[in-house]
Amino acid sequence: MYAVSKFKKSLLVLSIFIVPLISCKNDKENNPNQKEDSIQANNTENIIEVVTNEMDFQIPSRLKSGWTTFRYINKSSETHFFIFEKMPEGITIDNYNNELVPPFKAAFNHLINDEVEEAMKEFEKVPAWWNDVKLGGGVGLISPKSVAESTIYMHPGTYVMECYVRMPNGMPHAFYGMIKEIQVTEETNDIQEPSYDHQISISSEEGITFQDSIKAGNYQLAINFKDQKQYETLLGHDVNLVRLTSISKLDTLGKWINAANIKAFRTPIPEGLTFLGGVEDLEEGETGYFKTQLKQGTYVLISEIPNVIDRKMYKTFKVY
């Protein structure tokens, strides 16, 4: 997995717009009755159910390493996703909350109020270990009251998972409880890499490549990350599947998904867009998978990066 490292101070202002933003309380504090599950459910297929009721993640706190399918059940009235961040050795969610939350939250408040200089001062307090955080995939954007399923390879280590879609006030969902620590053990689950029906590839040079049309039906799609890079927001590219009521909604989607704009990436979601999941950032050479049911209509595969339309990091296709 590629590291969120080697970043420059000149990019820090942009980073706060998209770098996963953290809550002041962990899931246990926000959900005192939540059961701390151990390794894991649905052993035959190794399907891990992740449930969001409002602003939470209900998921086992310990998983075996290896190929893991996450079935994300979004019962809430908001659009969500989740991304895994692999912590450096010895760093836990306590470090996250005590060392990273205060400067990030203060900086974000300043940026919302257009106080850039004050925000930069807060960024100087970000702990050095943040440079060594790695990104480990996750389930792409998913609309309310729906389910998405993605499969990624989980390496051993300590992860923090979160959602940073923003509330109408500009604050990310992570500030409201959408954050949780996950331990992935050295013990493997012995699950084989999935098969797939069609392949999607993504790279910073070639964009997203896929066919122009496909027959309606149920599919498992593979996403090959041919490369990975850091954009102005200090994150890489992912792939999200979105159904459009018409092709004219593509520009609307491009503006909304640009998290480098402090006024974008907020709920409520613009009309005409249905998010169907996908795969969050993986390192160069890795592959993630997701299942989808495609009905007749217009779709787009799109990455959550700045200026996505100008960069042509999307691919429209028809389902017939």
The CATH number of whichever domain residue 210 belongs to comes to: 2.60.40.420
Mean pLDDT of 194-213: 97
Query: Are 157 and 231 within one domain?
Result: no
Helix (H, G, I), strand (E, B) or coil at 255: helix
Query: Are 236 and 266 within one domain?
Result: yes
Is the pLDDT at 46 greater than 50? The verdict is: yes
Classify residue 4: in a domain, yes or no: no
Query: Are 97 and 202 within one domain?
Result: no
Domain boundary pick from 147, 163, 188: 188
Counted domains in the chain:
2
pTM tops 0.85: yes
pLDDT on residue 100: 86
pLDDT on residue 305: 96
* Residue 20 belongs to domain spanning: 9-188
Query: Are 304 and 231 within one domain?
Result: yes
Is the pLDDT at 24 greater than 60? The verdict is: no
Q: Answer yes or no: are the C-beta atoms of 163 and 178 closer than 8 Å.
A: yes
What gap in Å lies between CA 117 and CA 318, rounded to an integer?
46
Which tokens in the block code for residue 156? 């051993």
* Pairing verdict, β 207-209 and 198-203: antiparallel
Is the pLDDT at 36 greater than 70? The verdict is: no
Cβ neighbours for 42, distance < 8 A, ≥ 6 positions apart: 48, 49
Q: Answer yes or no: are the C-beta atoms of 13 and 119 closer than 8 Å.
A: yes
Query: Are 181 and 209 within one domain?
Result: no
Classify residue 240: in a domain, yes or no: yes
Classify residue 269: in a domain, yes or no: yes
What gap in Å lies between CA 168 and CA 184, rounded to an integer?
34
- DSSP state at residue 270: P
Is the pLDDT at 229 greater than 70? The verdict is: yes
Amino acid at 278: G
pLDDT on residue 59: 98
Domain boundary pick from 166, 188, 210: 188
* Pairing verdict, β 198-203 and 217-225: parallel
Query: Are 210 and 99 within one domain?
Result: no
The listed range with the strongest mean pLDDT (14-23, 233-242, 306-315) is 306-315
Which tokens in the block code for residue 79? 């659009």
Distance of alpha carbon 268 from the chain centroid: 18
**pLDDT band (50, 70, 90) for residue 44:** low
Mean pLDDT of the chain: 87
